[in-house]
Amino acid sequence: MTDTTTTPHALGPTRRTLGAALRDETGASTAEYAITVLAACGFAAVLVVLLKSGEVRDLLMNIITSALSLGQ
């Protein structure tokens, strides 16, 4: 007969409750970084689409040209 007081439980440590397991945030920062990177890529894609439009390009060129001509 085996001594059940020293045999580890088949489902894991008995002192770790379900609540403690759910509060464990191991890997949470990795998921947050992944979401941030995806959001940044989406924002970059929107900027690329906007900057390819002729109207926005002309507007930016006018702003840059007028800013550079103020220094003369």
pLDDT tens-digit series, residues 32-65: 899 999 999 999 999 999 889 999 999 999 999 9
- Per-residue pLDDT tens digits for 4-33: 555 555 555 556 677 776 676 666 688 889
Tokens of 47: 């900027």
3-state secondary structure the chain: CCCCCCCCCCCCCCCCCHHHHHHCCCCHHHHHHHHHHHHHHHHHHHHHHHHHCHHHHHHHHHHHHHHHHHCC
pTM of this prediction exceeds 0.75: no
